[in-house]
Amino acid sequence: MTELERRLLALEIAVPEGPDLAPAVLARIEGRPFPWRRAAVLGIAVAAVAIAAAFAVPQARTSILRFFHLGAATVERVDTLPPAVERSKTKGLGRALPLDAAEDAVGFRLALPPLRERPEHAYVLGGELASVFLHAHGQTVLLSELRSSNELLLKKMAGDATFVEPAQVGGSPGIWIAGAPHTLTYVDRHFGYHQQAILVRGNVLIWIRGPLTLRLEGKLTRAQAVELARSIH
- What residue segments make up the domains of the chain, in order of their start? 3-64, 68-230
Q: Which residues contact 125 (CB under 8 A, 6 or more apart)?
A: 92, 93, 94, 95, 131, 152, 186, 194
**For position 59, what pLDDT does the model report?**
47
**For position 191, what pLDDT does the model report?**
65
Mean predicted confidence (pLDDT) in 29-55: 45
Per-residue pLDDT reduced to its tens digit, 176-233: 999 999 999 998 877 666 667 999 999 999 999 999 999 999 999 999 999 999 999 9
